[in-house]
Structure 1
Amino acid sequence: MAYTVNEVASQSGVSIRTLRYYDQIGLLKPAYYGSNGYRYYEQEQLTLLQHILLMRELELPLSTIKELIEHGSFNESEALVKHRELLIEKVERLQALIAKLNEMIQHPEKKQALLERSLFRGLDVRMSHHQVKELRSVYMAGRAAI
């Protein structure tokens, strides 16, 4: 079954403009273009969009995502497991930040000491080099690493 760009946008929460941009940069091409010029997406593209959105949630830049998709040959199950692991790490980091904020709110007199002891710890939202390497290994299975 084919879906229009409007249907995909509605189902995924991604704007039509973003889908058009992904097409323009070659990140997510539609399955085909109709005679009316509409973009049509099928299951393969929807699955790819899901992976793109998971990688975006991990704050990977579009250039890295495109590189993984273009050069990758991955086991979808392994990729989903790795996405889950990385998202769990992100959740744990966010929970630690919430705990730190709660402590600062509940004990304003300790705020300065808390800041000095753990200034910026947990605030780095970028994926570590190790995490990116792990994700690459899943997408690049069977190929030489980039």
Structure 2
Amino acid sequence: MHIKEVAELAGVSIRTLHHYDEIGLLTPKKINVSGYRIYSEADLERLQQILFFKELGFTLKKIKEMMNSSSYKQEEALEIQRGMLIDKRKRIDKMIQTIDKTIQNKKGEIQMTDKEKFEGFDFSHNPYEDEAREKWGNHVVDESNAKIKQLSKYERESLEKEFHGIYRKLAEIRHESPNSDIAQERIGLWYDYLNKLGSYSLEAFKGLGQMYIDDDRFTKNIDKFGEGLAKFMRDAMAVYAERNQSE
């Protein structure tokens, strides 16, 4: 198949396929007499795998690393992708139910508890762990994961409640200046919270804030608490790091 046919078949742009070729993620080996690349059945299967991984939030860098590994097996990858997509569907279904309940609550048809308002949100698993490992090393992530595993169910629920509370407090003031006293006080709570789970330096804290904007997945999840929250947190975290480094 020619690149235009593949683009139409897979629902991606020709530019995207050119980009995959340029970075060595998907490079068709067959070339016709006119010099155009021809996509084989194996190329289409590889593209399918790439798009599944993209849907699950993996970066192109990570996808290339995994698929070029000598231990990579397509059938095994499909089984893993299937499981991850089922988990994702369950979370989405739960969040849709929460939205429906929230609409009913707004109309006065039902009364929601605070806990029900956040059903479906799950931050116990970090889908961005690979990026964190690349930026700050394994020890921070491993230390954080080890601490969480040691906690009782009650302690984990308490930690999750504290997490939601901090984000709600930050969302309330997201239109304030990141330099304001209240912004710095509340972003300090976030810094303290992270250091309950790991050892985050001020530099790592600032870098994490920048990732909230650089990575669309972060931005979308954080902005569920209030549009513009990710950008506000990025700016407030940078100010916090700079102020406290000088003290």
* TM-score normalized with structure 2 length: 0.46
- The aligned residue for residue 113 of structure 1 is 114
CA contact 2:95–2:119 (8 Å) conserved in 1:
no
Cα shift at 1:76? 2.2
- The aligned residue for residue 219 of structure 2 is none
CA contact 1:59–1:126 (8 Å) conserved in 2:
no
- The aligned residue for residue 10 of structure 1 is 8
- Distance, in Å, in 1 between the alignment partners of 2:121 and 2:49 is 29
- Distance, in Å, in 2 between the alignment partners of 1:97 and 1:125 is 16
Identity rate, percent: 35
Q: Counterparts of 1:43-82 in structure 2 under 5 Å? A: 43-82=41-80
Change (3 A) 1:35 1:65: same
Change (3 A) 1:95 1:34: same
Q: Please identify the structure whose Cα radius of gyration is greater.
A: 2
Letter aligned with residue 113 of structure 1: D
1:41 aligns with 2:39: yes
Paired residues in the alignment total 127
Cα shift at 1:129? 4.4
CA contact 2:94–2:119 (8 Å) conserved in 1:
no
- Distance, in Å, in 1 between the alignment partners of 2:4 and 2:113 is 50
- The aligned residue for residue 20 of structure 1 is 18
Provide the alpha-carbon RMSD of the alignment. Answer: 2.8
CA contact 2:91–2:121 (8 Å) conserved in 1:
no
Q: Which runs of 5+ in 2 are unaligned?
A: 131-247
CA contact 2:20–2:27 (8 Å) conserved in 1:
yes
- Distance, in Å, in 2 between the alignment partners of 1:35 and 1:126 is 48
Cα shift at 1:101? 0.5
- Distance, in Å, in 1 between the alignment partners of 2:22 and 2:128 is 29
Cα deviation digits, residues 109-145 of structure 1 (max 9, x gap): 6568358x62882489963649xxxxxxxxxxxxxxx
Cα deviation digits, residues 24-46 of structure 1 (max 9, x gap): 11110012233423121101111
Letter aligned with residue 73 of structure 1: S
Change (3 A) 1:26 1:126: farther
Q: Secondary structure at the match of 2:100?
A: helix
Q: Secondary structure at the match of 1:127?
A: coil
Q: Which runs of 5+ in 1 are unaligned?
A: 131-146
